[in-house]
Amino acid sequence: MLKQEGVLPQQQPRLSIGASIHDLVEWDEKVDLVKGAVVDALQDRYLDHDQRKKDYDEGRWGQEGYKEPYKPEDPNDAEIVKLELLSGATPAHSIEPTWRDCVEIYISENAISAQRTQSITSKSTKEEFVR
């Protein structure tokens, strides 16, 4: 989603000589909009609605110094990783890869290092995984 929006840090526009600052300002505004949407989604997802209702029933909700109750965050939550990427941080945690992800990475890296053609890679891939 972030790649489609064009707001990953590595997608930041490279300003060439004579380029206007408008492009950079527009990109920053887009990052802020997407970041706000991700933050809103995370706040709603991790808000402990049951505890909030109890606090409301007991009269604590809305009092001075009251802090919204939040559940512990899941470090493998895709939205948390998105927010870290948008903020320019390297995620401390990442989504756990599936077997399919591992196989696809292995095949692509092996094909590059062995300098295989697409047809040879397809044949060897099928033969290796049939075993």
For residue range 22-45, list pLDDT tens digits in order: 877 887 888 888 888 888 888 888
pLDDT of residue 131: 52
Structure confidence by residue, pLDDT tens digits, 55-80: 999 998 888 888 888 888 887 787 87
- What distance in Å separates the CA atoms of residue 98 and residue 80, rounded to the nearest whole number? 19
Single-letter amino acid, residue 50: D
Handedness of CA 99, 94, 45, 73 (dihedral sign): positive
Stated pTM of the model? 0.48
Single-letter amino acid, residue 115: Q
DSSP 63: S
pLDDT averaged over every residue in the chain? 75
Q: Which DSSP string corresponds to 6-44?
A: T-SGGGPPPPPTT--THHHHHHHHHHHHHHHHHHHHHHH
